[in-house]
Structure 1
Amino acid sequence: MKVGIIGASFAAEAYLPALRHVADVEVTAIASARLESARSTASDFGVAHAYDDWRAMLERHKLDLVCIATPTVTHAKMTLAALDSGAHVLCEKPTAMNASEARRMLTRAEELGRVHMIDHELRFNPTRMRIAQMIAEGDLGEIRHLNIANIGSSWADPSSRSKSDWWSLASQGGGRLGANGSHQVDLVRWWLGEVASVSGEALTMVPDRKDKHTGEPWKGTADDVANFTLAMKSGARANVFISAVAAHAMGNHTQIFGSKGTITLSDGDEKLWFAKAGAPLQAVSIDDPNAGLSGINDGIWNVSVVAALRELTAAIREARPLARGATFVDGLRNQLVLDAVKTSGQERRWIDLKEADYAAA
């Protein structure tokens, strides 16, 4: 299977180490906006071809799979071009700049019969899979409410980021809502089902910044804090709070409360705790067997990519839909929620997700 990658940074961190542990796969080419980055990554991982023009890569190679890890503003055009070139596609999150782009991506992939995946790799993390299983099997009873807090400090210092940092620019699709909130929305939907209504906001708390290299003043326009409440179709409520500008990083904490039990999970130790009503919490974590593979970088994100890519390539090889993982259908439905968070903040009201929009997905 011939694979091409667009975007060198995450490729070196996660995709390429993981693909070394996927059978019968050859990474043929890699493209990056900076040719030196593409060449350096290609050299490190034995990739034969490096480009600073992703369109040239697609034109010159017959690729079975294209993996896209680039700024959000480029996702739709790269995905559509890759699909039209004959490839199946793995696209990073957030899916796109808006639901309209996400819908075009899904429609084209379905028209062409391509396998499609959004890289919500935590669907392949054994601990989070255990949560999905416990909820589905009724261990927690009726889910009543869920809390997720993701508190970081990496954007707190106005001098911590470069002027060209796309993650801080709304025009490029940056911001914590897309970077982290997309993962949280995907997990909530996976565990609890679909969203009925959304209330929230995405804020830029520290807009006045200085380039970390030159000290030049610049404006951050993407959200560095996002918070939202999801009213689920089941009746449950999910509250999510995300910050990158706290003085102290507190990590990611998840709490799920049902009529018969409670779950807690912290990324500090990655231990899953469960208690039946009236009983104490007990550890029910599951280790990821891929964590011990050679060359895989630390962290659940990098480790989970191994299983995600194994499932994706198996689906392509066997000419079948994904058995698990987030498809472009999930990508569109997640994007509808992210768009609604922004609209809610702008209009200061609850946003009901339209049945027609979900039906189209």
Structure 2
Amino acid sequence: MTTSALRVGVIGVGFGSTVHIPAFFSEGAQVVAVCARREERAEKAAHDFGVARAFTDYRQLLDMGDLDAVSIATPPANHYEMVMAALEAGKHVLCEKPFALDQGQAMEMAEKASRVGRTAMVAHEFRFAPGRAYVKELLSQGYVGRVQAVHMYLFRGPTERPTRTAPLGAGAAEGGGFLGALGSHYIDCLRDWVGDVSRVCGGVFVHEPNRVDPATGQSATTDADDAFSFVATLAQGGWASMSASSRAPFGPGALLQVYGAEGTLQTPQTGVNPPSDGRVLGARFGEGQGVRELPMPERFRPFVDPRDDRLMAFRILLRHFMKGINEGNSPSPNFYDGYRCQQVLDAIRVSQSGAGWVDIPGE
């Protein structure tokens, strides 16, 4: 199979319509079907993108004989059932994050993908954003020497007092919350840069529990976290920490910092998502300068896609996905990476329950 012949079904047309569908088309794939719970949403997505078929039942989509792969862009509570059914149907799978509701589900999905021999990846496209990809390369070249510490923070929120209550979303039991939605990306980045986490201590917080149920218009409360924090030890030595909140008025964005025995690397961003241009700052002993911006190699931003900040990184992810299909493997971030990330997410919540430091088993 060539990448241009890849026939894809996209399940979920929220983020699926914003990023997944346009990215697949831009990379030469054929999106041949879409699926959403509500018929009008499925039909609209099909009409907007010129997709031939629209479904409300993902099982009917999986029954299509002219389908090679599925891209699952639904809330996390649906991932396990859909992924397992797609793999059983012999399809290659790209699944959104957070990958699973718990590490048990994540391990089952990873093992199933391995057994059936299909390409299976998790949509952690942030690792392909220019700033993060360049930091990874510099770390692999020894820019900072032996890594001692990684610190990450992400604070975003309103710049004016909210005038209405936010809508109710998925609760904690359904995989909702800021830790899974954004923390999973940062944990994946941490692992991509410096390897596995061996122990973690942390917790999640709900600063704004009041919501409005969009279906009824009635007041409701949520237990989905809007902030989290953790400290971790790294399997290779050293430690990492992260603090994050989506309810931080005038929050400046994010900053990821790596400190080593010989220097530092930093990549800042002003929004929740890493920008498609990217910036990396660095300094190391012997260069006679303080922290300064490092020129970004053009290979880390090979094209411009102005439709959405996430599209360039996501399209690079798709190139790995398609290459994996052609070569018969599952490039990182694959389902095993999703499982290792889920272990950390679970451990943070276990830690908050009173366990303190939680060990994360190795391979």
Task: Tell me how far apart the structure 2 counterparts of residues 318 and 238 of structure 1 sit (CA, whole Å).
Answer: 35
Alignment of structure 1 residues 71-220 onto 2, 5 Å: 71-153=75-157, 157=162, 159-163=164-168, 165-166=169-170, 169-211=171-213, 216-220=218-222
2:22 matches 1:10: no
Q: Aligned letter for 2:353? A: Q
CA apart distance, 1:317: 2.1
Task: Tell me how far apart the structure 1 counterparts of residues 252 and 43 of structure 2 sit (CA, whole Å).
Answer: 37
CA apart distance, 1:274: 0.9
Q: Aligned letter for 2:239? A: R
Q: Which of 252, 260, 263 is equivalent to 1:261?
A: 263
CA apart distance, 1:286: 3.9
Alignment match, 1:332:
339
Residue identity over aligned pairs, in percent, reads: 32
RMSD: 2.0
CA apart distance, 1:267: 1.2
Counterparts in 2 of 1:312 and 1:292: CA distance versus 1, 3 Å = same
Which secondary structure state, in structure 1, belongs to the residue aligned with residue 105 of structure 2? Answer: helix
* Cα deviations by residue, 1:145-179 (Å, 9 ceiling, x for unpaired): 1111111116985944223x22xx11221000000
Alignment match, 2:360:
353
Counterparts in 2 of 1:78 and 1:158: CA distance versus 1, 3 Å = farther
Give TM-score, length-normalised by structure 2. 0.90
Q: Aligned letter for 1:330? A: D
CA apart distance, 1:306: 0.7
Task: Tell me how far apart the structure 2 counterparts of residues 290 and 297 of structure 1 sit (CA, whole Å).
Answer: 16
Which secondary structure state, in structure 2, belongs to the residue aligned with residue 279 of structure 1? Answer: coil
Q: Which of 6, 9, 27 is equivalent to 2:31?
A: 27
Q: Which of 305, 308, 316 is equivalent to 1:298?
A: 308
Q: Contact 1:158–1:206 (CA<8 Å) still a contact in 2?
A: no
* Cα deviations by residue, 1:305-347 (Å, 9 ceiling, x for unpaired): 111111211221232342xx30101000000000000000111
Q: Aligned letter for 2:316? A: A
Q: Aligned letter for 1:199? A: C
CA apart distance, 1:61: 4.0
Q: Which runs of 4+ in 1 moved over 6 A?
A: none
CA apart distance, 1:186: 0.5
Q: Contact 2:202–2:352 (CA<8 Å) still a contact in 1?
A: yes
Unaligned runs of 5+ residues in structure 2 are 1-5
Counterparts in 2 of 1:172 and 1:146: CA distance versus 1, 3 Å = same
Which secondary structure state, in structure 2, belongs to the residue aligned with residue 101 of structure 1? Answer: helix
Task: Tell me how far apart the structure 1 counterparts of residues 268 and 215 of structure 2 sit (CA, whole Å).
Answer: 34
Q: Contact 2:94–2:123 (CA<8 Å) still a contact in 1?
A: yes
Count of aligned pairs between the two proteins: 347
Q: Contact 2:118–2:329 (CA<8 Å) still a contact in 1?
A: no
